[in-house]
Amino acid sequence: MLEELEAYLHLYRSKGYPQVSHSENYRKTYSPAYRIVKSEYCDFFELFCKIDSLLESEDTVTVAIDGNSGAGKSTLATLISNVYNCNIFHMDDFFLRPELKTEERLKEVGGNVDYVRFKHEVIIGLNSREEFQYQIYDCKQMALGKLVSVIPKKLNIIEGSYSMHPSLICNYDLKIFLHINEKEQSLRILKRNGACMHRKFLCEWIPLENVYFSELKIQEQSDLVFQ
């Protein structure tokens, strides 16, 4: 063995120390080979296993990602889309239009999102398994704007606060909740949205979300919770 090693090193030096690669025998024996994976994927390994299992057993799979503002819901949806061929729908595109913001509606827990339009345009569209369209709410214009055409895929992701509203929750095959502590949440929102929007989040939107989470027990109804 020592003589073989010395002979190999002599030949290796004579070739100018080229990059070493595995032998064909090694590749055949050690299969599947190891891979370098970003830590973000490792953090959600259980989630990917759940999705894989559902995709094997179901014709279509719909996943909801709910949780605190700034917890990383959109980021997780994008992470999933890097692995699977899927559609992503954002609850932020279904903010309540001004004409629907009645005193009664705004007192309703979870009532500040247009869950009726979301169900009619997206959930029913997905269930049809045919191409459908929905409109994005334009916050600057405070009106419905761009029309989006969608072809349902085997995997469809719905992300955003209020995605697990009681009128919607029964439509999901997998429910995920992302939690973040108040201090980190505040720092992330300030960095992401700036000081003016940061105040609006802290004084208006986050309190409404927290009431929704606690009174409707959204985290308790989730299949997976990530902190």
The structural domains of the chain, with segments of one domain joined by +, span: 42-226
CA angle (181 as vertex; 220, 177 as ends), nearest 5 = 30
Please, are residues 208 and 113 in contact by the beta-carbon 8 Å criterion?
Answer: no
User: How large a percentage of the chain has pLDDT more than 90?
Assistant: 70
Average pLDDT over residues 181-208: 91
Select the more confidently predicted residue: 154 or 38: 154
- The predicted pLDDT at position 32 comes to 63
158 within 8 A of 76, measured Cβ to Cβ: no
CB 219 within 8 A of CB 210: no
Q: Per the structure block, which two tokens stand in for 64?
A: 């909801």
Cβ atoms of 105 and 96 closer than 8 Å: yes
Would you call 48 helix, strand, or coil by DSSP?
Answer: helix
Place of tokens 């959204």: 218
Q: What is the DSSP letter of 170?
A: G
Q: 174 or 106: whose pLDDT is higher?
A: 174
Q: Is the pTM of this model over 0.85?
A: no
Task: Say whether pLDDT at 155 is over 70.
Answer: yes
Structural class in CATH, domain 42-226: alpha beta
> Can you name the residues that pair with 132 across neighbouring β-strands?
150
Q: Which helix (H) or strand (E) holds 150?
A: strand 143-150
| Cis preceding linkage at 32, omega within 30 | yes
Mean of the per-residue pLDDT values of the chain: 91
pLDDT band at 33 (very low <50, low <70, confident <90, very high): low
The answer to whether residues 13 and 6 touch, using CB atoms and an 8 Å cutoff, is: no
Phi and psi of 147, rounded to 5°? -95, 125
pLDDT band of residue 139 (cuts 50, 70, 90) is confident
Q: Kindly indicate the confidence band of residue 34, based on its pLDDT and cuts at 50, 70 and 90.
A: low
